[in-house]
Chains A and B, each alone.
Chain A
Amino acid sequence: RKEVEQDPGPFNVPEGATVAFNCTYSNSASQSFFWYRQDCRKEPKLLMSVYSSGNEDGRFTAQLNRASQYISLLIRDSKLSDSATYLCVVPQGYNKLIFGAGTRLAVHP
């Protein structure tokens, strides 16, 4: 089993849609989690941190289910500018980030 697994993409949605991405992780000892966003040929940028059951920031909501070792990212009212690859990230130890392969989102008019 991979350390971090994500929904296969791509997700093609119209503007205004709500879309959810799933991520599972294998290390039950993991305490913190991140969602990063990566635009084509650019560096990853932190979107949200998740330390407890969840986190909400505007149109973005991240939820954590420790029992199932599952993290989700919900995007409401999708914008064209949300088109990107979303990376589920689980730190290992103090310093090593383990990245999922990413889920590609394409928002169309």
Chain B
Amino acid sequence: NAGVMQNPRHLVRRRGQEARLRCSPMKGHSHVYWYRQLPEEGLKFMVYLQKENIIDESGMPKERFSAEFPKEGPSILRIQQVVRGDSAAYFCASSPLASSTDTQYFGPGTRLTVL
């Protein structure tokens, strides 16, 4: 049973380019979460999605960031016009249910470097 998959594992972009990060949840999981970890900091919640719906985007920056989880295919976190401050590790997690007691399983992360 494959775990949460993320690609690419490493992504380098120049300022002003777009970054697309992909996440495939564990089989049977319909809840996806995105977290960002800046260097030397803890993980920060960004967004929670179910299939075709954004449930909670309270942690998403107001501009340049968007997320989707289409009916078919992986969840996508999209960052437009990247800036150096976007350099971070972006982790995706999934769970079978949306419950405060339900374990979220994390993918290996995508490390974004903005030059």
Min distance, Cβ A96 to any Cβ of chain B, angstroms: 5
Q: Is A42 an interface residue (CB 8 A)?
A: yes
In the assembled complex, A11 has its CB within 8 A of some CB on chain B: no
Given A94-B98, A99-B42: A44 in contact with B91 (beta carbons within 8 A) = yes
* CB contact between A95 and one of B44, B56, B89, B109 (< 8 Å): that residue: B56
Contact A43 B107 (CB under 8 A): yes
Q: How many residue pairs, one in A and one in B, have C-beta atoms under 8 Å apart?
A: 63
Are B99 and A94 interface neighbours, CB within 8 A?
Answer: yes
Within 8 A of B (CB), among A17-60: 31-32, 34, 41-46, 49, 51
A99 touches B98 (CB 8 A): no
Does B69 touch A at the CB level, under 8 Å? no
A7, B43: Cα distance in complex, Å = 16
Closest B residue by C-beta to A85? B42
Interface residues of B (CB under 8 A from A): 31, 33, 35, 41-45, 48, 55-56, 58-59, 89, 91, 93, 95, 98-101, 103-109, 111
Residues of chain A whose beta carbon lies under 8 Å from any beta carbon of chain B:
31-32, 34, 41-46, 49, 51, 87, 91-102
